[in-house]
Every structure is written in C-alpha cells, then in structure tokens.
A and B are shown apart, each in its own frame.
Chain A
Amino acid sequence: MDPSALQEAWKALTQKSYSKKEKAIEFIARHDGADAYPAMKAMLDGKLYFSIRDRTLFILNEENGHYTFTPLSGGQVVSQQTRRGFKKVKINNRLRTRLRQALALQQLRHDDRDLRLAAVQELLKNPDTRAARLIRNVIEREPDAAVRTAMQTLLAIMQLEDGDESAQRQAIDELAGSLNPSALNALKAYRPPDEALKNLAAAAIRKINHRRELYAHAETVFFGLSLGSVLALAAIGLAITFGVMGVINMAHGELIMIGAYTTYVIQLLMPEHIGISVIVAIPAAFVVSGLVGMVIELSVIRHLYGRPLETLLATFGVSLVLQQTVRSIFSPLNRSVETPQWMSGAFPVNEVLALTWNRFYIIIFCLTVFVALILVMKKTLLGLQVRAVSQNRLMARAMGVRSKWVDALTFGLGSGIAGMAGVALSLLTNVGPNLGQSYIIDSFMVVVFGGVGNLWGTLVAGMSLGIINKLLEPWAGAVLAKILVLVFIILFIQKRPTGLFPQRGRAAED
C-alpha cells in the first residue's frame, strides 16, 4: 500500500465536503487499522482539529481552559490559551455512523468489557462479513458471557444469510433466543429454502415476539409507576393543605415552581458539584417553598378561613403574582437544570427493556417523601397537633394547642413538600415560570380521586392514574388518553363522591 495515498486521505479530512470526508474515512479504516484509532476517536468526540496554516491534523486536549494541540504525525505540540489558528474537523450524522462502525471493529479487542459490548452492538446494527470474520477470531478468547452472546447473535445472522442448510437451522435456533432487534429483522428478511426451515423460522419469530410483548408490558407498568410517582409527588403537598386543612390553594403549582428554581439557583452556586447539587437542593427547596407558603398563609389565607370561594380567588391571584415575580427575576426564558451523571442514562435489563435512572430515582424519592410524611403525621408532636386541629379546632385550642401557629406550620409543611416535588420535576421538564400551571389541575385531580384528607389515597390515586394513563396512551394517543382519564374520574366521582378512600367520621387521618 502506498503511504502517500493514506496521507492524502488524512489530509482530505480537512476539506469542507462531507462526502469527500466520508470516502477518506472509509479508506483510512480499510488501510490504517489500529493506528488510526486515537485520531478517529478524537474525530468522533469533536477533538480533531487542523491548523489553518498548513492543514495538518492535531488532537485537542482541553484542561481548565488551557488548550493543548498534539500533532497526529509527529512534530511540535502547541499549547495555548485559545483555539486560535485551529479549526475543528466537522462531522455530520453519516460520518458519525461510519466512524462508530470503524471504531467498533477496533474496540472488539479492547480491555474494557463495556466498550466491547458496545462495539458488538454497534456492529449488530449493520452486520457484514468483515465484522463476522473479525468476531470469529476473537470469540474464543471472549471471557464475558453477555459479549459472547451478542457475538454469537451476529455470527448467526451472517450464517442465516450465507450458511448451508444445517448452519441455517442452527442459526435460527440461536436467533430465537435473542432479543436484539437485528435478530428479529434478520429472521423476517430470511428466505427459507424449504418448508421445514420456514416453519422453524416462523416459530422463532413467534417466540421472540411473545417475549418482546411481555417486556413491553413490564415497561408500560414502569412508565405508569414513574408518571404516577410524579403525580403523587406533586399532589402530596396538596393533600396536606387541601386535604387536611381544607384550603383550596391555587398557588400550589407555583410553590412547586419555586422548588424547581431553587434547584437551578443551587446549581448556579455550586457549578463544580452538579452531582451533589440535586441532593443539596432537596432540603433547600423544602425550606424556601415552605417559607413562601407560610408567608402566604399568614398574609392571605389566614384571613379567609371558612370562605372557600374567596380563598380560591385570592390564591389564584397569589399564583399570578408569584409567576410574574419569577419572570421578572429570572427572565421569561426557561432555565436549564443539569441532570447529574448518576441520574442520566438507563439501566439495561435486557436488549428490549431498559429502565431510565432518573425515573427510577424519582419513584424512590416519591416513596421516601411519602413515608417521611406519614411518620411526621403519626409520630411527631406537630403531626398530633395538626390532626387535633383539623378534627376539632375548638377542642384542640381548649387543650392548649396554639391553633394559628399550627395552621401556619401545616401550610408550610405542605408547601415545603411541593418545593421538594419541584426538585424532582426540574430534572424532568422545563424550569420556567409556567411550570406550576401544568401540574395544578393534575394535583387536584389526584387528591380528589384518592379521597380528600387521606394521604394513602393520594399515593394510590397517583400511581393508578399514572398506570391507567400509560396503558391508554399507546392505544388512544396522548391527547385522548388524558381526556379519557378525566372522563373516568368524573364518572368515578359521580359514583363515589368521596374518592377512593373516603374519610371515616370527622377524622383527617384514620
């Protein structure tokens, strides 16, 4: 092979045309092999640069705002404060796919097990004879079972295409046990030479589809639980203020929003520790939203007890004031809360079922908040006093409970929990002035459905509404699913006006 042709190919990467770059990459991948690995990896990561002066390639290394350019083919390392004089080798989707395929072939021998698995999965998307040849060389030495299975799937797909009859039979057996979409597609595209193989392939497809369906149901339940936990989180605070105290608080959504903005501010304050910032934000949001809630209680709601219509209008006004305040302080633009590393991505159960980490943590968070709240209500003095005041205010006062103080604290507690819900929501959706509006209706729905004044009812109602919604969604579409859920609740409330778990007697807690 002519080394100057290879050099030409490397140089071609500095051109503007994506199709020329693509040809160059293919050429390099075919001829340069393992030596090209670091440069290709850098190119994929957007770290391959070229000097504008003489178009030689460099790999960029950035450290605390300091840029080091290491030349690909020997020469002086350039170290400077800016990227001046260098230009990035731009890539697009097509090039990215090509690069990944080329890198995957190299990564098959990598020491890191995850990288090897990723490589085989990349190759599975587009299996070819070259990949199969390479895999046959390494599969014997592969220590990891999962990687080996994926490799076998790829080999089986290739066998299905060009093996003899017994090899095809073996391949079908192998593929029938795989959940990889490529396996299913290969079986579907398979043209069997005789009746027996045809039946075998059909049976394999049925088996795969059956298993996929099973996992799809599991996935739906997980989605439902996670949506349910979001609903329940948003509603638990309301279950206190509306359920236990009987205050129709239209500003509940804005207390959630304040919690979300608290998360944003905490992240601004500690940009180096995004991972912990979310944890820090939980108590911070509780305090901030709780204080705001107490101020609302002391200044507005206190004077309107027993007048639900006025309370509704006044708190609606408060919600508009809070929205516009946030809009003036933080601008009407949405703010971005960065999801910490440990919360992003998914946990792959198998090739069709992956549970996303952020949803998983939010389910756990919701349950934790719920248990903590139950404990506060049942085991602490505050909980006792809250229950006493809501059951019989006069009697409680006669026993020496400072009912006004308890009212403020209870409202603060409900508001604080709304703030903690805001922390969770900030990781899922937009942090903007309108965040709360989209959750206020849902929150009321959950509390009413679950039975006013019953914390367990709120949890069960949130979870069941989440699952119902997710069951309906694939079948009816997102818009209709929401409407159907509403219709269902209206009918349910007609039948049982007190919700799922009605209060017994005059007790707020049973």
Chain B
Amino acid sequence: MTKTRFKNLAMALVITAVSFAAAGLARAEETIKVGILHSLSGTMAISETTLKDTMLMLIDEQNKKGGLLGKKLEAVVVDPASNWPLFAEKARELITKDHVVVTFGCWTSVSRKSVLPVFEELNGILFYPVQYEGEESSKNVFYTGAAPNQQAIPAVDYLMNELGVKRWVLAGTDYVYPRTTNKILKAYLIAKGVKESDIMINYTPFGHSDWQSIVSEIKKFGSAGKKTAVVSTINGDANVPFYKELGNQGISAEDIPVVAFSVGEEELSGLDTKPLVGHLAAWNYFMSVESDENDRFIRAWKKYIKDDKRVTNDPMEAHYIGFNMWVKAVEKAGTTDPAAVQEALIGVAVPNLSGGYSAMMPNHHITKPVLIGEIQDNGQFDIVWETPGLVAGDAWSDYLPGSRDLISDWRAPLSCGNYNVKTKKCSGQNY
C-alpha cells in the first residue's frame, strides 16, 4: 500500500520535472539572455553580491515593462568565486554555452584583465561598473565606472583649492589600481608645483589589519606645520581597521582629512562612523543625492531586497546606467547582436541618478558628474562639492608619459582603442 503510494508520488514528481524542463526549453527560445559575472563567494563577495542583486532587480523591472524587442530578459548568474582565472572560464561558459548577448560583471581590475581576452576573442560585450585605473580601452568592454580623471584628479583639486592642502600622503593597497592611480596623482601633483618631499607614498598588503605604525607615521608627516591630507586607494576590507586606528589615535578630519576612492555607503555600513565624521570620499554618485530618479531607485531597491536598511552606492549606479544604455542601444539597433549593439552604444545617453544624463563616449567611457562627500554620523555622505558640469572619462591619462599621446575612438574609420596621435599609429593592442 505505502509502496504503491510512494511509486505514484515519484511518478508524479518525474512528470512535473519533465514538464518544467520542457517549459523551460520552450521559454528559452524566446528570451534574451543577460550574463551576470559577479563573485558570490570568496573575498570579493562582500562587494559583488550587491551588484548581482542590482542587476536582477533591473532585469526584473525591464521585464515588468514588457521586456525588450518583444521578448523577456533572462538573467544567467554564475559565480566566479573571487578566483581570477575562474572569471575567464565562467565568461567563456556564459558566451559559448549560455549564449548571453551581454555580460555585466567584474569588480577588481585583475578579474577584468582576466576576462578581457575571452570577450575580445568571442566578440562579446562586457559592462564594467567599478572605478579603475584607466590605461585601457577595449572594443568589447564598456567602462561605466570612473576613470582616474573622473574621481582622483577632481578630488585632489578639491583638497588643494578648497582646503589648502600642501602635503600629501598617497596610501593604497598594493595592486594595480592604487599603483597606477598614485603614479598619475604624483605626476599631477608635481606638475602643480608640489615638492617630492611633500609627498609620501605608502602601500600595504590586501586585508592589512595592523595600521598602528602607518597611522602614527602619517600623524608625524602631518605635524610639519603644513596642511596635510591622505588620498586613500586602500581597498574595501582594510579600510575598517584603518579608520578605527585613525579614530583611536585621535586624528580628526579637521587635522588630516582622508579622501577615499574605494569607501562608499556599503563599506561604511560595517562601521561605526562617529569618529569618522568629516573624512571624505569622491564618487560619481552618493545615496544622499537629491533627485527624483534617485528617490525612485532607492525605493525600488529597498523593496526588491526587502530590507529597509540597505544602502545604494556608486557601482550600483554604474550598472543602472550601463543596463539602461544597453537597453537603449538594443532598441536603436533593433537587434541584440553584440557587433551591432557595440556600434549603437556609442552616443547613447540615459538619465543617471544624480539628476542629469550620462552619455557613452567613443572611447567606451561615460560622462558623469564628480561629487565630493563628507562622512556623516549616520553612515551617509553630505555632498560638499561637485564639478560644475559632467566630466568625460579619459581612458589614457594625460599625466603619464607613456599614455599622454594616446587616444581611443571606436568609431569608424579610426576604430582603435590605442591610437598614438604623434606617430599616427594604432598599436592594435587594446589594453
């Protein structure tokens, strides 16, 4: 008796499973597949999980609006597990096996460098949402995060002009983004007449947790009678003990302000911000931006994630802009074919969350406003300064000797990410 019932149940289960699979197959014919390549485990999960959720929300919203070209969008989520070579494997899997037409993903520069050859070989599209060191422009990558001239340079200008900073500490985690950014910043500061002896550069390993001697060194460097500031490219995790140590050693933002390029609302949510009030961050978006577009986005995000305390941050805005740009380009091209969409993307303009429009430039970077915010005791930023207009992302820095003469323009007839205006040659290498 029980045996037959069990058999029946199993039978029913099998039938349901088969019909579900069939339905899934049938649906697959009609959907447009969008790849999401963000780490959901490992070190970077802390930052990247949020971006995966953001993408799922955006795709969900688009489907509620009726999808795209009459079809529904379908998200394909893979987990590269903070493992750089795995990023390349997963990217290949997304394009060749899952047939996604566009991919949103990566956080660290090294993961982007890892997937770059895959996207170029298979001619896919990658939207990269994080601020980075520049010095790259690929035909297949669209950079919606800030280039150094959209974050680092304006921040230094602010410190120099508004706060009268004369001595500089460039502190960073030891990897490619801080090293390149600091190289650019050092060249920029020296061009502005700052003496070498007034610049201190310091690198620390990933996840550095014992900041005592470095903070004490900064304190000494800053007690020489000239206004001193720290420009921090310290990566996510290591910031918490760094700021804790600053607070404990009694360095307030009035004495030595710290302007950070990797500290946003999400990083602050793991931190008691009372001792940090007044320290700065430079981004293209803050959750505290006052605009209707932003209010709507925050409401939608909190509702989607079902948590009223969750915050929004700059890379989320970058994905918001990137996704809408892609949607618009697909509509413009009338197809999801990556080659056609790549062309259609250039010149597309969509609303950003700070109340203006961002446009995709021929060098695959976008225009954005630059905002400087001061940390508040509630974990949010008060915007204290912003650029008067939009700043266009510059792939090749004007302050580095090697890249000064390079430009990037992916429109025909130039179609080159690395064109030397002096020698009139395109090196052909895009990164």
A contacts, CB < 8 Å to B: 18, 46, 90, 92-94, 96-97, 100, 125, 181-182, 185, 188-189, 216, 219-220, 223, 226-227, 230, 324, 327, 331-336, 338-339, 344-346, 354, 356-359, 428-434, 438, 469-470, 473-474, 477-479, 482
Bound CA–CA A482/B206 (angstroms): 12
User: A324 — which chain B residues lie within 8 A by C-beta?
Assistant: 41
Q: B248's contact among A90, A93, A345, A433, by CB below 8 Å, is which? A: A345
CB of B315 within 8 Å of the partner chain: no
Bound CA–CA A143/B203 (angstroms): 46
Q: What are 28 A-to-B residue pairs whose CB atoms are below 8 Å?
A: A92-B278, A93-B280, A96-B253, A96-B254, A97-B254, A181-B224, A226-B212, A230-B210, A324-B41, A334-B240, A345-B248, A356-B245, A356-B249, A358-B248, A359-B248, A428-B209, A429-B209, A429-B240, A430-B209, A431-B270, A432-B237, A433-B45, A434-B43, A469-B210, A470-B213, A477-B203, A478-B203, A478-B204
Q: A428-B209, A473-B214 are in contact. Are A93 and B249 (CB under 8 A)?
A: no
B164 nearest CB across to chain A (Å): 9
Bound CA–CA A469/B207 (angstroms): 16
B141 nearest CB across to chain A (Å): 26
Interface contact B374-A479, CB-CB below 8 Å: no
Bound CA–CA A189/B225 (angstroms): 9
Interface contact B270-A336, CB-CB below 8 Å: yes
Q: A333's contact among B42, B216, B266, by CB below 8 Å, is which? A: B266
Q: A332-B46, A354-B250, A430-B270 are in contact. Are A479 and B205 (CB under 8 A)?
A: yes
- Which chain B residues (209-226) contact chain A, with CB distance < 8 Å? 209-210, 212-214, 216-217, 220, 223-225
Q: B250's contact among A223, A227, A345, by CB below 8 Å, is which? A: A345
Per-position 1/0 for B244-269, Cβ under 8 A of A: 11011110011101000000001001
Additional A-B contact list (7), CB under 8 Å, known A358-B248, A359-B248, A430-B240: A96-B253, A96-B254, A333-B270, A334-B240, A336-B272, A338-B272, A428-B209
Bound CA–CA A219/B219 (angstroms): 13
CB of B324 within 8 Å of the partner chain: no
Task: Give how many A-B residue pairs fall within 8 Å (CB-CB).
Answer: 133
The size bracket of the interface on B is 35 or more
User: A90 — which chain B residues lie within 8 A by C-beta?
Assistant: 382
Interface contact B208-A478, CB-CB below 8 Å: yes
Q: A18-B384, A333-B46, A432-B46 are in contact. Are A93 and B214 (CB under 8 A)?
A: no
User: B213 — which chain A residues lie within 8 A by C-beta?
Assistant: 220, 223, 470, 473-474
B135 nearest CB across to chain A (Å): 22
CB of B163 within 8 Å of the partner chain: yes
Interface contact B203-A185, CB-CB below 8 Å: no
Q: A346's contact among B162, B220, B249, by CB below 8 Å, is which? A: B249
The DSSP consensus for interface residues of chain A is helix
CB of B271 within 8 Å of the partner chain: yes
Bound CA–CA A46/B223 (angstroms): 27
By beta carbon, the residue of chain A nearest B382 is A90
Interface contact B216-A219, CB-CB below 8 Å: yes
User: B217 — which chain A residues lie within 8 A by C-beta?
Assistant: 474
By beta carbon, the residue of chain B nearest A94 is B163
CB of B362 within 8 Å of the partner chain: no
User: B45 — which chain A residues lie within 8 A by C-beta?
Assistant: 327, 332, 433
Interface contact A428-B270, CB-CB below 8 Å: no
User: A359 — which chain B residues lie within 8 A by C-beta?
Assistant: 212, 248
Q: B46's contact among A334, A346, A478, by CB below 8 Å, is which? A: A334
CB of B202 within 8 Å of the partner chain: yes
- Which chain B residues (1-58) contact chain A, with CB distance < 8 Å? 40-43, 45-46, 49
Bound CA–CA A332/B384 (angstroms): 31
Bound CA–CA A96/B269 (angstroms): 24
Q: A227-B212, A354-B249, A474-B213 are in contact. Are A339 and B278 (CB under 8 A)?
A: no
By beta carbon, the residue of chain B nearest A324 is B41
A336 nearest CB across to chain B (Å): 5
B390 nearest CB across to chain A (Å): 21
By beta carbon, the residue of chain A nearest B374 is A92
Interface contact A479-B162, CB-CB below 8 Å: no
A424 nearest CB across to chain B (Å): 12
CB of B377 within 8 Å of the partner chain: yes
Bound CA–CA A335/B266 (angstroms): 11
A485 nearest CB across to chain B (Å): 12
Bound CA–CA A219/B216 (angstroms): 9
Q: B225's contact among A18, A46, A182, by CB below 8 Å, is which? A: A182
